[in-house]
Structure formats: structure tokens, C-alpha cells
Copies of this chain bind each other. A is one copy, B any other.
Amino acid sequence: MTDPDGAEIGPRIYEVPQGDDRERLTCPDCGFIAYENPRIVVGVVARAEDERILLCRRAIPPSIGYWTLPAGYMELGETAEAGAMREAWEEARARLTLTGLLAVYSLARIHQVQLIYRAVLTDANVAAGPESQAVGLFHYSDLPWDELAFPTVEWALTQDHQAHMEGHGQAFANPATDG
């Protein structure tokens, strides 16, 4: 991170803090330790009543112009499920019901864990949000495989199809008694 004059600011050197067993990103100016953790991306494979699958054409880098699933960083104070539904609304104006966790992808090199849920649209009206150029509903046989934004989009679409054809068990989530 740099300030407006281009000077390096904030945590930027690696040191082993007292009592820890690995290097952590530390600010040499003020001593603040930025514990770096994998970030959680939440997303959905959402199908309309006619089984078409919702994709968004990205209006922002990376992979601008390519198709992706509604997905984005989970925010503080929300559940993973709520985050997935929020992203579907923000990127595709989609209202949906989640039907279970499809997959957990670990992308160690880019420090991400992706939680991808399955969903059904409760309203066929979808529309591009500010981060999308367009939204589309595609039958599995018509998916734009050559224009997908990320490998994980292909993984999720393939695994959702497998789950759709063969059935799919689910991981548990918070029990209903929580809260």
C-alpha cells in the first residue's frame, strides 16, 4: 500500500512476533501486526425454474467481459449464506433460495477459500448490477465455456451439473437452534 505521494505505508516487513512461530506482516512505523488470513469468497450456482443457470459478465477487472458466477468477498457480520445471497443481489439483482453447499475450493496461491452454494431463483427477473456488464441465463448445454472468467467457475458449473444429475449430499451448517 502506498500513500498519495507513492511512499510505502502500513504493514510491509515480515518479522516473527514474540510468542509466535512464523513471520507476520508488520508496520515498521507503528508496530501494528497485520495477521494475514485467507479471504473467504462466497458465491452461488443459481438455477431458474427452467433449469437455466445464472451468470454475470464482469464489468470490472480481472477478466473483464468474461462470464462468472455471482460471488464476492464475505463481509464481517454476515453468515456465509447471507453473503452468497447478498452477492447474487448486488451483481445480478437475483432473488433466490439457497439449497445447500456445493463446494469448498482452496486457492492457496491467491489466499482464497471459496464457498459455493446451490440455489434456485425465486424470481426470473434478473438484471446487471454495477459490477456486471450483463447477466444471462444459460442451459447447461449452452454455457459459454470458452468465455468463463476463472477456473473455479468451470469447476462449480461442472460439479453443479453432476449434483443436478446424480443428487448431492450436503455439509451441515449452523443448527436451527443457533441464535
Contacts and interface: CB of A to CB of B under 8 A. Distances in A.
A27 B101 CA distance: 37
Contacts of A37: 37, 39-40, 73-76
Count of chain copies: 2
B170 A155 contact: no
Q: Chain A at the B interface: mostly helix, strand, loop or mixed? A: loop
Nearest to A4: B31
A139 interface: no
A76 B38 CA distance: 6
Contacts of A40: 37-38, 40, 113
A15 to B, nearest CB: 14
B32 A1 contact: yes
The CB with the most chain B CB atoms within 10 A, among A101, A108, A109, A155, is that of A108
Contacts of A158: 175
Contacts of A80: 104, 106, 113
A104 B113 contact: no
Contacts of A108: 76-79
Interface in A11-35: 11, 22, 27, 29-34
Contacts of A162: 172
A104 B175 CA distance: 10
B32 A10 contact: yes
Given A74-B113, A111-B76, A9 B32 contact: yes
Given A78-B106, A103-B173, 12 more contacts: A9-B31, A9-B32, A34-B34, A37-B75, A76-B111, A80-B104, A81-B106, A101-B101, A104-B172, A104-B173, A155-B178, A159-B172
